[in-house]
Amino acid sequence: MGFSVARVDEIEPKGPGGAVRFVRRELGVQAFGVNWFELPAGATGREHDETSSGQEEVYVVVRGDGSWRVDGEDLSVSAGTVLRVDPESTRCPVAGPAGLTFLAIGAPCGAYEPRGPF
C-alpha cells in the first residue's frame, strides 16, 4: 500500500496518564518518529534529552498553551508555535491553564538530505 491514514482520536492513548498517542506506529512510519501528546492543564511532561538516540526534535503546538523548559530556560508556547531542540538539550513541556496538545517529530541529526530549493 502506498499510504496510511489514521485519526488521532482513534489511536489508543498510552504512556503516563494516557498522554501520548503513538502516531508513528499507527501509520507505520519508518523515516522519523512522530507522536501526539495531550497534557492536561498544569501538567508537566517528562524532562529528558535525546543524546543517546541522537534525535533532533521538532514540537508543533496544536492546541492550548504553556512553556517548554529547554536547558533551564522557559520558552512560552501556544497554538501555532514550532520549536526545534538539539539532541543534547534537556527539554520538558509544561501545560498552561488550557492544557497543551502537540506533535513531537524526530529523527537522528543528518538523516535528512535536502533536495531542491525548499
Task: Give the pLDDT of residue 1.
Answer: 67
The secondary element (H helix, E strand) that includes residue 53 is none
Q: Judge whether 16 and 46 are in contact, CB under 8 Å.
A: yes
Sequence spans of domains, the chain: 12-108
Q: How many CB atoms lie within 10 A of CB 104?
A: 22
CA-based angle 48:50:54, to the nearest 5? 175
- What is the mean pLDDT of the segment spanning 44-60? 96
Cα distance between residue 105 and residue 74, in whole Å: 20
What predicted TM-score, i.e. pTM, was given to this entire model?
A: 0.92
Task: Fold for 12-108, please state it.
Answer: Jelly Rolls (2.60.120)
Categorize the per-residue pLDDT at 82 as very low, low, confident or very high, splitting at 50, 70 and 90.
Answer: very high
Task: Give the pLDDT of residue 64.
Answer: 98
Please give the mean pLDDT across all residues of the chain.
Answer: 95
Counting residues of the chain whose pLDDT is more than 70, the rounded percentage is 98
Cα distance between residue 117 and residue 2, in whole Å: 26
